[in-house]
Amino acid sequence: MTKIKIKSEVKALIFDLDGTLSNSLPIHLFTWEKICQEYNCHFNEKIMIDLTGKPTIMFARRVIDENHLIGVTAEELVKKKQQSFWDNAGLLEPHSEIVSLVYENYGKRPMAVGTGACRKSAEIQLEVLHLTKYFDAVVSADDVTFHKPDPETFLKCAKLIGVKPSDCQVFEDGVLGMEGARKAGMFLTDVRSFTYKKYANTII
C-alpha cells in the first residue's frame, strides 16, 4: 500500500515523468557523461537538480557554457544525447511507489503526464514502462510554448482531461515543476522522498 496521499477533493491526477514515474535520472546522467567524454568535458550533476523539468536543449546550453565549448552547438549535443538515451531506454525502471498510484486510480480518475521531455522521449519511456494505456493525455515539451516553471504544461493537461486546475493533484520531483504546479493552482505532492532519495532534502 502506497504511503502517498491523494486529496479527497481531487478529481484528476497529473504526473511528471522523469524522476517521478520513471527512474530515468541515472540513465540521463550516464548518457550525459558519455556525451561529455566524447567532447572531453565535464558534466556537472548539479545541472540535474537545477534544470529538471526543462527541455534538453537547456541542459545542453548549460554544458556548453560551463565547459566553454567552442564550435559545438546546443542542437548538436541534444541530438546525440537524445539518441543515446533512446538507445538505453531498455534499462529504465519505474518508481513503484508512484506507479502504484496510477494502477490504483486507473478508471477512477482521469490522469495525465506533464513532462519537460520531448514527445518522442515521453512516448518511449511510457511504452518501455508499460504505462501508455493508463493516461488520458500526455503534454510534452513539444506541446507548450512556455516550459516549467511556467504553469502551461499542467494547465494544458487539465484542459485536455476536462478538469479544473483547482481539482487536480500534481506529483513532481523537480523544483521547477513544483513551482509550475503551484502557479497552476493545483494540489502538489513532492515525491522526492519516495523516488530520487539522493536529492530528497533539496530545499524548494
Distance of alpha carbon 170 from alpha carbon 1, whole angstroms: 19
Q: Is residue 204 assigned to a domain? A: no
Q: Is residue 2 assigned to a domain? A: no
pLDDT more than 90, % of the chain:
87
Cβ atoms of 165 and 7 closer than 8 Å: no
Give whole-number Cα distances, 47 to 20, 60, 80, 174, in Å: 17, 10, 18, 12
Report the predicted TM-score, pTM, of the whole model to 2 decimal places: 0.89
Beta-sheet strands, E only, within the chain: 12-15, 111-114, 137-139, 168-172, 187-190
CATH number at residue 105: 3.40.50.1000
Q: Are 100 and 134 within one domain?
A: yes
pLDDT band at 197 (very low <50, low <70, confident <90, very high): low
Confidence check: pLDDT of 198 > 90: no
- The residues that are catalytic are 16
Confidence check: pLDDT of 2 > 80: no
Distance of alpha carbon 133 from alpha carbon 149, whole angstroms: 27
Please report where in the chains the cell 572531453 appears, as a residue.
Answer: 40
Q: Is residue 85 assigned to a domain? A: yes
Cβ atoms of 104 and 201 closer than 8 Å: no
Burial (0-12, 13-18, 19+ Cβ within 10 Å), 71: exposed
Q: Per residue in 121-144, is it b (16+ CB within 10 Å) or e — as a string?
A: bbebbbebbebeebbebbbbbebb
Q: Are 116 and 84 within one domain?
A: no
Confidence check: pLDDT of 60 > 50: yes
Confidence check: pLDDT of 28 > 50: yes
In this predicted model, what pLDDT tens digit does every residue of 143-161 receive, in sequence order? 999 999 999 999 999 999 9
Smallest Cα–Cα separation from 28: which of 65, 53, 1? 53
Instruction: Among 35, 60, 90, give the residue marking a domain's end.
Output: 90
Q: Are 115 and 174 within one domain?
A: yes
Alpha helices by DSSP H, 72-197: 74-87, 96-105, 119-128, 152-161, 175-183
Q: Is residue 159 assigned to a domain? A: yes
Confidence check: pLDDT of 1 > 70: no
